Structure 1
Amino acid sequence: MHKPTRKRRISFLLAALLGFAISFNAVSAPKREFYQLKIYHLKDQTQENRLDTFLKNAYLPALHRAGVAKVGVFKPVEEAATTTAAPAEKLVYVFIPFKSAEQVFKVEEALTKDKQFATAGQDYLEAAFNNPVYQRIEVVLMEAFEGKPTFTAPNLKSAHAERIYELRSYEAATEKLHENKIAMFNKGEMDIFSRLGFNPVFYAQVKAGSKMPNLMYMTSFDSKAIREEKWKAFGADPAWKKMSAMPEYANNFLRADIYLLRPTDYSEI
């Protein structure tokens, strides 16, 4: 029986180390989170007050007991009225990060068995058909991008009332173009946002929602003025100019909806 040569032994060792490294990275790499965005449509201040009470005193505490660490609650930035037209409906955005798709359903099941939740949330949960807490709810289910598999609660310094959270929704004309836009984010666009100090909260592909194919992401700023400065810097950034001019990324989104939000005083993100 021939003994392995020194060169062969080194090759075996390198192969073993490579295999270990691959296995270690597969185990240690964070899994991509799933996000649920609930958008409550409200008709008046009374409904908004009731919903705030429910979210703050019942829903968020119950989500924590069910294993959700942090929840974000946001409302649109109020602009000065310029007409006498009837005010638009009120909106409340609730962002819930989950570790997996399975956790989404496990948490829902846990809430049905939570007696504290049933008591604290009675006004919401037992509302009469002619006195509901909301007009309707939209629910969007998302999976985090590969390049940012977990959300980040930004470390902003300003008062809650000054902060701006920017939620963007990018629809594409086809599924292929939609995947192309996601690839653009993963291959450099997210890096530009981080380098320029956009304080990204999450980037995610919409898996179920009313607008498809679609992706959504959220960035955050200490003030509206800082947001405007950051976007000006982004538009002038050489890396962005180069990337956005590449023909392989042409026409990879059809419509962009932009929502400027502020966190509630009880938001945890």
Structure 2
Amino acid sequence: MQRRNFLKSALATSAATLASSASAQAPASSAREYYQLRKYTLRSGPQGKLSDQFFSSALIPALNRLGLNSIGAFKVQFGPQTPTTYILIPGTKLETVVDVDLILAKDAEFLKAAEPFWTAPAKEPPFQRIESTLLKAFEGYPKLTVPAKASKRIFQLRTYESATPLDHIRKVEMFHHGEFEFFRRSGCDNVFFADGLVGPNLPKLTYMLAFPDLDALDAGWARFNADPDWKKLGADPRYNFEPTVSNVDNLILTPAPYSQI
């Protein structure tokens, strides 16, 4: 009974504080973006070149014509199921982000450029599977940030799954109570932070950070974990009475030459 009352209190507090902190951080005119995050599990061999041509010459230009910009294209450097390419499609109009394939099917220029990929023979497919997750940007971080271009950079894509919806809400709340800033002052470049709306392993959130290299990544996380404000937040009874995260998926990605992020 005591735990149940604590949970009810925590849920009410989380909802109220999340709303107030988000409204304080997000500009009133900022529309929250949606993200379609596509995972293309590819095949080793010559078909990899066909996939790169599709992404660079067909898909990304067509998405730009739809007004969808800052398209991310990333290859898995460390993580399971390589070769794999992730395509990040941001946009403020949900219908456009969700209906991308239906819209592109009416784009003659896209269909011409995409033909080698779309019509590849079944015995030589350019990919094994495509998985898509629909995300919505956090209220406190409503738009994707494109990091400064550099000759060398890596990206970290992290997904936090939670055991219950309440645990998920509490973890999202922690980001709005300082984690954006903790990352920034630790030397991590924030790219996006978003809730999972549709996809596997819900409830979950996904975010992306950028670094010059692996040494910078390690140094950034060391500073983050040592931050006294982070330690104080993590020790708050609202967040430490049980784990807010039950599983972490962590990938190190490198941008493809045609990535716009």
Where on the TM-score scale, by shorter chain, does this alignment land: which range?
0.7 to 0.9
1:233 aligns with 2:226: no
Q: 2:186 corresponds to which residue?
A: 196
Partner of 1:223: 213
Matched, 1:123 2:116: yes
1:171 pairs, out of 148, 161, 164, with 161
Superposition deviation, residue 110 in structure 1: 2.5
1:208 is aligned with what amino acid? V
Aligned pairs for 1:122-161 (under 5 A) are 122-157=115-150, 159=151
For residue 176 of structure 1, give the secondary structure of its aligned residue in structure 2.
Answer: helix
Deviations 1:68-102 (A, max 9, x none): 112110011259xxxxxxx9541111111011212
Secondary structure in 1 aligned to 2:189? Answer: coil
The TM-score normalised by the length of structure 2 is 0.85
What are the superposed Cα offsets for residues 189-208 of structure 1, whole Å, 9 maximum, x if unpaired?
A: 11211222311110000001
State the number of aligned residues: 235
Whether 1:103 and 2:96 are equivalent positions in the alignment is yes
> Which amino acid is the alignment partner of residue 245 of structure 1?
A
TM-score (norm 1): 0.83
Q: How far does the alpha carbon of each residue in 1:20-45 deviate from its partner, in whole angstroms, 9 at most, with x for none?
A: xxxxxx99420110001100111213
Residue deviations 1:143-201, cap 9 Å, x none?
A: 000110000110143x1xx3110000000000111011001111211121122231111
Contact 1:32-1:100 at 8 Å conserved across structures: no
8 A contact 2:136–2:194 mirrored in 1: yes
The 8 Å contact of residues 34 and 144 in structure 1, kept in 2 or not, is answered as yes
Structure 2: distance between partners of 1:170 and 1:155: 26
1:254 partnered with 2:246: yes
Distance between the aligned counterparts of 1:44 and 1:187, measured in 2?
A: 43
For residue 167 of structure 1, what is the amino acid of its counterpart?
Answer: L
| Contact in 1 for aligned 2:36/2:135 (Cα 8 Å) | yes
- Alignment equivalent of 1:265, drawn from 242, 257, 260: 257
Structure 1, gaps ≥5 residues long: 1-25, 80-86
Letter in 1 for 2:160: Y
Counterpart Cα distance in 2 of 1:156 and 1:254: 34
What secondary structure, in the 3-state scheme, does the structure 2 residue paired with 1:201 have?
A: strand
Relative to structure 1, the CA distance from residue 149 to residue 88 in structure 2 (aligned partners, 3 Å threshold; closer, same or farther) is closer
Cα gap change, 1:90 to 1:216, in 2 (>3 Å): same
Answer yes or no: is the 8 Å Cα contact 1:39–1:92 preserved in 2. yes
Equivalent residues in 2 for 1:8-157, closer than 5 Å = 28-77=28-77, 89-157=82-150
Contact conserved, 1:67 with 1:107, CA < 8 A, in 2?
Answer: no
Relative to structure 1, is the Cα distance of residues 142 and 93 closer, same or farther in structure 2, using a 3 angstrom cutoff? same
- Name structure 2 gaps, 5 residues minimum: 1-25
Contact 2:43 2:126 in 1 (8 A): no
Q: 1:209 aligns with which of 199, 207, 218?
A: 199
Structure with higher Rg: it is 1
CA RMSD of aligned residues (A): 2.0
| Cross-structure match for 1:20 | none
* Residues in 1 aligned to 2:76 and 2:126: alpha-carbon distance in whole angstroms: 18
**Bigger mean CA deviation after superposition, 185-194 or 232-241:** 185-194
